[in-house]
Amino acid sequence: MTSAGQSRTVTIGAAQLGPIGRDESREAVVVRLITLLREGAEAGCDLVVFPELALTTFFPRWFTDDIAGHDHYYETSMPSPATQPLFDEAKKLGVGFALGYAELTEDGRRFNTTVLVERDGSEVAKFRKVHIPGHEDDEPWRPFQHLERRYFEESSEGFGVWRAFGGIFGMATCNDRRWPETYREMGLQGVEMILIGYNTPIHYAPDPGQNALQGFHNHLCMQAGAYQNGTWVVGVAKGGTEEGVESLAQSAIIAPSGQIVAQAVTTGDELITAVADLDWCNHYKETLFDFARYRRPELYQRITSQKGVVAPPPESLAPNGGESS
Q: Would you tell me which residues interact with ligand ING (CB under 6 A)?
A: 133, 146, 148, 174-175, 178, 198-201, 204
Q: Is 173 exposed, middle or buried (0-12, 13-18, 19+ CB in 10 A)?
A: buried
- Backbone φ, ψ for residue 85 (5° rounding): -60, -30
The answer to whether 102 touches 80, Cβ cutoff 8 Å, is: no
Out of 129, 148, 221, 270, the active site residue is 129
Instruction: Provide the b/e sequence for 216-245 (b: ≥16 CB within 10 Å).
Output: eebbebbbbbbbbbbbbbbbbbbbbebbeb
- Minimum Å gap between C-beta 204 and ligand ING is 4
Pairing mode, if any, of strands 96-104 and 245-247?
Answer: unpaired
Nearer Cβ to ligand ING (128/146): 146
| Among the listed residues 87, 122, 121, 80, the one whose alpha carbon sits nearest the alpha carbon of residue 104 | 80
- Minimum Å gap between C-beta 133 and ligand ING is 4
Nearer Cβ to ligand ING (15/95): 15
- Backbone φ, ψ for residue 304 (5° rounding): -105, -20
- Minimum Å gap between C-beta 266 and ligand ING is 19
Specify whether 45 is catalytic: no
Nearer Cβ to ligand ING (27/154): 154
Whole-angstrom CA distances from 320 to 57, 176, 314, 316, 317 are 63, 49, 17, 11, 8
- Minimum Å gap between C-beta 298 and ligand ING is 31
Nearer Cβ to ligand ING (201/225): 201
Specify whether 129 is catalytic: yes
Out of 45, 52, 270, 281, the active site residue is 52
Out of 45, 174, 221, 281, the active site residue is 174
Specify whether 174 is catalytic: yes
| Among the listed residues 110, 29, 126, 32, the one whose alpha carbon sits nearest the alpha carbon of residue 75 | 110
d(Cα 96, Cα 151) in Å, to the nearest integer? 29
Nearer Cβ to ligand ING (114/175): 175
Torsion of CA 12, 184, 122, 45, to 10 degrees: 0
- Minimum Å gap between C-beta 252 and ligand ING is 14
- List the catalytic residues: 52, 129, 174
